[in-house]
Chains A and B, each alone.
Chain A
Amino acid sequence: DGGITQSPKYLFRKEGQNVTLSCEQNLNHDAMYWYRQDPGQGLRLIYYSQIVNDFQKGDIAEGYSVSREKKESFPLTVTSAQKNPTAFYLCASSTTVRRRHHNSPLHFGNGTRLTVT
């Protein structure tokens, strides 16, 4: 079955360490996204990528970095520069909408809960 795999489900790190969250999709989607969710709040966009080897900053990109070397993979690195990294991170993908009537929802992974102490 096609889908998005995020690993690990839970991640613990010491303050000052960089950490990389994995996201792999086999849906053949062009676009991939990283969102951050804090308790009781909505999703905020960190980075997105429409095609391989290209990505754009979202609303809260500071302290994060990404790469898109393969269509299937979009890893997110949480750097030590991120002031408050403890959060729930969701990766998503979608097809690129070219026709105005195209129903193209976001497909999500199950998320990674990152705790930094």
Chain B
Amino acid sequence: AQKITQTQPGMFVQEKEAVTLDCTYDTSDQSYGLFWYKQPSSGEMIFLIYQGSYDEQNATEGRYSLNFQKARKSANLVISASQLGDSAMYFCAMRERVNYGQNFVFGPGTRLSVLP
């Protein structure tokens, strides 16, 4: 069963507008972490933001914020004031405990295109 779902294969946003990228997850653990990564066309994976399952406030990092709704098991990424350089693939990931420590599970990604 897919543990991370990103329902938007592709998104378009006008420069300077805000955009929300969806992410839902599935876990029976009480303790877990949620991450968002950006992957430009160069292929590198850039860590953007983190939300812990016990965090009561939504995480924010500059223009990035995470809309965390624990009961709905969703962790949507909000990018404010989009820039052309934000065009990239965006992946939602979850850190989960496994028998031998921890593992990270990734969603299929959303390709964001920022239009001038």
Which residues of A come within 8 Å of B, CB atoms? 31, 33, 35, 40-45, 48, 50, 54, 56, 58, 88, 90, 92, 94, 96-97, 100-101, 103-108, 110-111, 113
Q: Are B102 and A42 in contact (CB under 8 A)?
A: no
The one of B44, B45, B95, B108 in contact with A41, judged by C-beta atoms closer than 8 angstroms, is B108
Cross-chain pair count, CB within 8 angstroms: 69
- Main secondary structure on B side of the interface with A: strand
Q: Which residue of B lies closest to A41 (CB)?
A: B108
Q: Which residue of B lies closest to A106 (CB)?
A: B104
The one of B42, B53, B95, B101 in contact with A50, judged by C-beta atoms closer than 8 angstroms, is B101
B33: chain A residues at CB < 8 Å are 97, 103-104
Which residues of B come within 8 Å of A, CB atoms? 31, 33, 35, 37, 42-45, 47, 50, 52-55, 91, 93, 95, 98-109, 111
Q: Which residue of B lies closest to A30 (CB)?
A: B101
Q: Are B101 and A31 in contact (CB under 8 A)?
A: yes
Known A42-B91, A101-B52; contact A54-B100, beta-carbon cutoff 8 A: yes
- Main secondary structure on A side of the interface with B: strand
The one of A90, A94, A101, A110 in contact with B102, judged by C-beta atoms closer than 8 angstroms, is A94
B111: chain A residues at CB < 8 Å are 40
Known A31-B101, A96-B101; contact A88-B54, beta-carbon cutoff 8 A: no
